[in-house]
Amino acid sequence: MGNDPARYRPAAEALLRRARQDKAVAPIHPVVDVNNMVSLDSGVSIGSYDLDRLHPPYLCRAGREGESYVGIGRGALNLAGLPLLVDGTGPFGCPTSDSDRAAVGSETQSVLMVLYGFGAASEAAAHGALDDAMARAVRLLREHAGARDIQTGTVGG
């Protein structure tokens, strides 16, 4: 892909690495905390985005040469070749790091949570891991983030 694998690890791997190094994952926001907990437990990279800061249409595509955004706590992120989420304004998320532009914050009312499914030994294993992680995320969002009107779906395979 042309990106340094140590700098551009999937978010789930980066979280697990922090945990193994006994580095704290500080509480941020109930939605982000659920995101991180489910990601750590399942190994699935998850992105949570403030829907009110996004603008349709929404796409998933490969990053193009020269594309970048400011990643949360990371500075500029080279997006060339990475799987991206894009809205009418431009890229806002990828399995490595979410953008500051779409970050969940104290004013967030509507959330798009994306579970990125790839890297499993088989398609069946990927679907199983995603289904389990999604069910856990839905339960925890209701219990700990006061979520209501949760809609789920699958895009792709």
pLDDT at 73: 82
Cα separations in angstroms, 40 against 15, 43, 52, 90, 135: 6, 6, 27, 28, 15
pLDDT at 96: 86
The yes/no answer on whether domain 11-145 falls in CATH 1.10.357.10 is no
CA torsion, ordered 34, 38, 43, 45, to nearest 10 deg: -40
pLDDT at 7: 46
The Cα–Cα gap between 10 and 73 comes to 15
Contact at 8 Å (CB) between 92 and 49? yes
pLDDT at 2: 45
pLDDT at 66: 96
pLDDT at 4: 43
Q: What does pTM read for this prediction?
A: 0.82
pLDDT at 125: 66
Question: pLDDT 10s digit of each residue in the chain, 157 long?
Answer: 344 444 455 555 655 566 566 666 667 799 999 998 999 888 888 999 999 999 999 999 999 999 999 998 888 999 999 999 999 999 999 998 899 999 999 999 999 999 988 766 567 766 788 999 999 999 999 999 999 999 998 877 5
